[in-house]
Structure 1
Amino acid sequence: MSDPLKFLVVDPLAGVQTFARQLLQSRGFVADQILCCADTDTALAQGLAFKPHFLITDWFAKAPMTGLQLFQRLREAQPALHLSLMSFDVTPEHQAEAQAHGAYFLLKKPFTAEQLKAEVTRSLEALAKTSPGLHDQLRDTMRAARPAPRPPLPVIPPQPVIKPGDKVRYQGAVHVAQHVVHRHSETVVQLKGQAGFVSVEKLQPV
């Protein structure tokens, strides 16, 4: 393969996107080789032009286009596309489906940054073994990566999966989620009948 290896990371949590980008850059991949998106529709629109070689995506079970459907659509334009998945809900059926699509891993959320690092590293090593052309590129890229001080790895916190219309418990009372917004590094929810937004970490699904 002569084209630089490119990665598409798709996850609604900005923290997951940020860490995945930092992890890949620490492996020697430059910013132009990494595209991050928060939803599958945006990922499809940008991914068709970006033409990634490796897709790391949330399962997006409730979205109109799931992570697996995104993979299938992108693979029509990029037949050699490789897949890895993340999901809060990992069932035997999901594992079998991921395996059937050739996914390198299906990582259960919440996970630590160390767990994601281990899975991505293992995937790149496996990818190099199955593709001789990639072996030299990965070797050269990772060799060129400058060693940097290792900061403490952040823990990606568990976040309840809440969507508009769901009932949630907040300050001892039951409310209905009206709007769910992902901004910066957090997810906030506007409750029906209330003006402000509440951090998703303060809510409990009912």
Structure 2
Amino acid sequence: MSDPLKFLVADPLAGVQTFVRQLLQSRGFVVDNVLCCADTETALAQGLIFKPHFLITDWFAKAPLTGIQLYQRLRDARPALHLSLLSFEVTPEHELQARALGAHFLLQKPFTADQLKAHMMQALQTVAKNAPGLPSPTRGVMHTARPAAPRPPPVIGALPVIKPGDKVRFNGAVHVAQYVVHRSGETVVQLQGLGGLIPLGRLAPV
């Protein structure tokens, strides 16, 4: 492969986008080669220019342009495009269609960071066989210290989507989100009139 491996991530959840980007960067891929989009229309417009080698997309079952259709359109520009799928609903029909398209995996939401990481590492190992120069799947793997007491793994794909200006409920009262920050794989929100940053999982859209 003459050009660097490029990834397109299409998912409506900012947490999924952030985690995949950070995971790929930890594998040695530069940020300019990882493009993230929140919808399929944007992903198609950007993807036709970007020409990714690997598409990681939500199924987008109710969108005018589904994740499958996005893959088919982008494959015209990159015939050897690799595919991985994410979806809240996974039926035998979904699995059959994903298999027919040659998808590396179809992962059901919500999933843990460790589950997504394991699937991505296996997919990268497969891609590496046909992509000389790809960083070794065993090099640069993220290592985190294990806590003294076990705790449930973080779940990706179950958090609400909140933007600056949105009304949210926190501690029984309605507030307005002022800033939304993605840091270290976590999304936190600052509310108008309140100090400190609040984890996204503690807020509910109004």
**TM-score where L is the length of structure 2:** 0.71
| Alignment gaps of 5+ in structure 1 | 162-169, 171-182, 187-198
Aligned to 1:138: 135
Q: What does the per-residue CA deviation read over 1:142-195, in whole Å, with 9 as the maximum and x for residues that have no partner? A: 75x4x776378743252589xxxxxxxx9xxxxxxxxxxxx7658xxxxxxxxx
Equivalent pair of 2:16/2:157 in contact (CA under 8 Å): no
Aligned to 1:41: 41
| Alignment gaps of 5+ in structure 2 | 147-152, 162-168, 170-179, 182-186, 189-200
Aligned to 2:177: none
> Take 1:53 and 1:148, find their aligned partners in 2: how far apart are those partners?
23
Aligned to 1:15: 15
Alignment size in residue pairs: 165
> Take 1:89 and 1:111, find their aligned partners in 2: how far apart are those partners?
12
The reply to whether residue 150 of structure 1 matches residue 147 of structure 2 is no
Shift of 1:135: 4.0
Equivalent pair of 1:10/1:58 in contact (CA under 8 Å): yes
| Bigger proportion of residues as helix | 1
What residue identity is the alignment partner of 2:144?
R
1:98-137 maps to which residues of 2 (within 5 A)? Answer: 98-129=98-129, 131=130, 134-137=131-134
Report the aligned-residue RMSD: 2.7
> Take 2:121 and 2:110, find their aligned partners in 1: how far apart are those partners?
19
Among all aligned residue pairs of Structure 1 and Structure 2, give the percentage whose two residues are the same amino acid. 64
1:79-98 maps to which residues of 2 (within 5 A)? Answer: 79-98=79-98
What residue identity is the alignment partner of 2:87?
S
Shift of 1:128: 1.8
Equivalent pair of 2:112/2:155 in contact (CA under 8 Å): yes
1:177-196 maps to which residues of 2 (within 5 A)? Answer: 185=187
Structure 1 runs of 4+ with >4 Å offset:
183-186, 199-203
**TM-score where L is the length of structure 1:** 0.71
Equivalent pair of 1:83/1:104 in contact (CA under 8 Å): yes
Shift of 1:200: 11
Shift in alpha-carbon separation, 1:201–1:70, aligned structure 2, 3 A:
farther
Equivalent pair of 1:113/1:154 in contact (CA under 8 Å): yes
Equivalent pair of 1:11/1:57 in contact (CA under 8 Å): yes
Q: What does the per-residue CA deviation read over 1:37-68, in whole Å, with 9 as the maximum and x for residues that have no partner? A: 00000000000110100000000000000000
Equivalent pair of 2:5/2:53 in contact (CA under 8 Å): yes
Shift in alpha-carbon separation, 1:201–1:102, aligned structure 2, 3 A:
farther
What residue identity is the alignment partner of 1:66?
T
Aligned to 2:31: 31
Shift of 1:80: 0.8
> Take 2:19 and 2:3, find their aligned partners in 1: how far apart are those partners?
24
Shift in alpha-carbon separation, 1:3–1:149, aligned structure 2, 3 A:
same
Shift of 1:136: 3.6
> Take 2:78 and 2:98, find their aligned partners in 1: how far apart are those partners?
18
Equivalent pair of 1:159/1:200 in contact (CA under 8 Å): no
Shift of 1:138: 3.0
